[in-house]
Amino acid sequence: MAIYAIGDPHLSLVVNKPMDVFGPRWAGHTVRFLQNWEATVGPEDVVLVPGDISWGMTIEEALPDLQEIDRLPGRKLLIQGNHDYWWQSLKKLRELPLSTISFIQNDAVLLPEGSVPGVAGPVAVCGTRGWITPGDRSWGEDPAHNEKIYLREVGRLKLSLEAGRKAGAAAYVVMLHYPPVADDHAPTGFTELLEGWGNVLLCVYGHLHGPSASQRALQGVHRGVRYQLVACDAIDFTPVDLFPPGRDVTEVDSLC
């Protein structure tokens, strides 16, 4: 079993929302996304999808996109992105006719021992949407509102980690949609929580797109936690193997 990640597929099988308005790299991205997934992921693998899944505004509009992901190989673990307006009632989401998709919100999914080579024990996949952080270029537009949601999302991440701990996790893999830091990469509530929690192997996130992503993204190991941008256009619309053979997760400093 391998663990992959790919975020921000921005599917729109029902809603007319072509992504090529965001640049030629996105032309025909849906076909590439689906073909690359099928060529990469096996039926026993797990794929983390950190948000911005469908342009649908309602569950009914998003369902065809979710069903398309559901038919792809592997088990999928999803969190909400800032454009996933259809993500409302978790109860309704979990009642959808989907067989390979799990939605994470204030909880965690426990992967069995052996899921990550070098980790003795089960691994919890945790996550939350996140929010812009202090120092972000948009923070000052409404600081009181942004602080409220930011603190709420830090709290939701803690709830998810606690759920993983209660389930018996030996280590953790975390998904956020928003990056965990602003452009200055200064510490935030998200990074401080991950650093202090212990045995957080990796935090993947999306949201950042285009040429500026390489300049703004937090990548590699910082204060003992590895961070990786997995937005579609940053990884050539192909799921990335988070723990490829030969990578020793116990040697954190070697993971940059």
For 164-193, the pLDDT digits (tens) are: 999 999 999 999 999 999 999 999 999 999
Distance CA 255, CA 145 (A): 36
Would the pLDDT of 50 be above 80? yes
The mean per-residue pLDDT over the stretch 225-244 comes to 96
Distance CA 216, CA 254 (A): 22
The rounded mean pLDDT for the chain is 93
108 sits in which H/E element: strand 108-111
Q: How confident is the model at residue 67 (pLDDT cuts 50, 70, 90)?
A: very high
Phi, psi of 27 (to 5 degrees): -60, 125
State percent of the chain over pLDDT 70: 96
Residue found by looking up tokens 């910082």 in the block: 222
Distance CA 129, CA 144 (A): 19
Under a CB-based contact definition with an 8 Å cutoff, are residues 76 and 104 in contact? Answer: no
Q: Where are the domains of the chain?
A: 3-255
Distance CA 79, CA 160 (A): 11
Distance CA 222, CA 146 (A): 25
Query: 3-255 architecture in CATH?
Result: 4-Layer Sandwich (3.60)
As to burial, measured by CB atoms within 10 angstroms (0-12 exposed, 13-18 middle, 19+ buried), residue 171 is buried
- Count of CB atoms within 10 A of residue 17's CB? 13
Region for 225 from its dihedrals, namely left if φ exceeds 0, alpha if ψ lies in -120 to 50, beta otherwise: beta
The mean per-residue pLDDT over the stretch 68-94 comes to 96
Would the pLDDT of 71 be above 50? yes
pTM: 0.94
Output DSSP code: residue 7.
Answer: B
pLDDT of 210 reads: 86
